Amino acid sequence: MSVARPSHLLLIAVFFAAGIFIATFADAAWLRHQRGSATEQNRALVTQLQLTDLCLFTEARYTRHLSQADLHSAFQDHPLGLEKFPTGSLVAPPAHLIAAHERLDRQAAIPD
């Protein structure tokens, strides 16, 4: 006689799920410990070089140094302006700008 009741299987599944859910928190604590040294290195570098920003975006100066952006550069027109996302992130730089750079690249011999 099989006594594999669906709700018993569920109970096992619930314990398992609760287990992995809790495991993520344990793992988080362990990883925090592991990665703490990188964070401290970053902080030391920030202090040493007097850095002001994270290097998350390197494409535009107002996103590379988010906090140092000019008053009138892009999305600083208004502190909550969303300019950079609808356009800056969804539209490629104008083709003629890239093309100009590419032509120059080919004309000038690049050493190294």
Q: What is the DSSP string of 21-52?
A: HHHHHHHHHHHHHHHHHHHHHHHHHHHHHT--
Calpha distance 39→44 (Å, rounded): 9
85 is a site residue for another protein (CB under 8 A):
yes
Calpha distance 34→27 (Å, rounded): 10
Q: 3 vs 96, which CB is nearer to another protein?
A: 3
Binding positions for another protein, rule: CB under 8 A: 1, 3, 5-7, 9-10, 13, 17, 20-21, 24-25, 27-28, 31-32, 34-39, 41-59, 61, 64-68, 70-73, 80, 82, 84-86, 88-89, 92-93, 101-102, 104-105, 108, 110-112
